[in-house]
Amino acid sequence: MFKVIRESFDKKKGRALRIISLLKKEYPQARCSLDFQNPLQLLVATRLSAQCTDERVNLVTPALFKKFKSAKDFAKAPQSELEKMIKSTGFFRAKAKSIRLAAKKIVDSFRGKVPKTMEEMLSLDGIGRKSANVILGNAYGIPSGIAVDTHVLRLSKRLGLSYAKTPEKVEEELMKLVPKRDWILFPHLIISHGRKICQARKAKCGGCRLNKVCPSSLV
């Protein structure tokens, strides 16, 4: 649980900056946990990661990327073959169809290259703001926004940064608190902390570096 606190924007922003500083020291190697070598690979891996662990996705993608090397390859991939290769990631029929449609759009509308703007990314099948932020930020280094997954959503509330109920609103509020230079890194810091310390079922407050700035600390 978390407690809602009312405070000035400046105070909340100050806490956000302190949190970022502390997490950078705690997780200096924080990065995207999906394995990829180019924007297309990250797009496919991001789509596969829905309702699936990144670890599982990383087990599936080496063979997938060896067989399908371009957007054209994915667009022309037989649905049944793609389904078979990604089956262990769950929801494989919908994911296979989505990947093929997105790849076709990339070939038809973007000359086979994953686009570099939010508007264009959102035109691809299965790509919402979170996925677009992940791809634009980690593949292109473009800080288009802040990717809000379940960890970011949960910790934003626990840390008193946003009590909004939707990922879109949480992102909007975080973008005002987090310096643009940290938009890409911020989710990775939060995800690392959410996995190691601030877990969903029971936060390990006793070993948390953020105790002095966290309004939900039990220490």
| Tens digit of pLDDT at every position of the chain (219 positions) | 555 667 889 999 999 999 999 999 999 999 999 999 999 999 999 999 999 999 999 999 999 999 999 999 999 999 999 999 999 999 999 999 999 999 999 999 999 999 999 999 999 999 999 999 999 999 999 999 999 999 999 999 999 999 999 999 999 999 999 999 999 999 999 999 999 999 999 899 998 999 999 998 876
Range of the structural domain that residue 103 is part of:
39-140
Q: Quick one: 193 and 118 in the same domain? A: no
Helices (H), 118-166: 118-121, 129-140, 150-158
Q: Quick one: 50 and 136 in the same domain? A: yes
Q: How many domains, the chain? A: 2
Residue 125 is a catalytic residue: no
Catalytic residue among 12, 95, 130, 157: 130
DSSP state of 164: -
Q: Quick one: 78 and 169 in the same domain? A: no
Confidence at residue 98, expressed as pLDDT on a 0 to 100 scale = 98
Task: Round to whole Å and give the CA distance between 26 and 76.
Answer: 44
189, 23 Cβ separation under 8 angstroms = yes
Q: Which helix (H) or strand (E) holds 4?
A: none
Confidence at residue 204, expressed as pLDDT on a 0 to 100 scale = 93
Spatial CB neighbours of 21, under 8 Å, sequence gap ≥ 6: none
Confidence at residue 6, expressed as pLDDT on a 0 to 100 scale = 74
Catalytic residue among 35, 54, 73, 149: 149
Residue 202 is a catalytic residue: no
Residue 197 Cα to chain centre, angstroms: 18
DSSP state of 201: S
Say if 2 falls within a structural domain: no
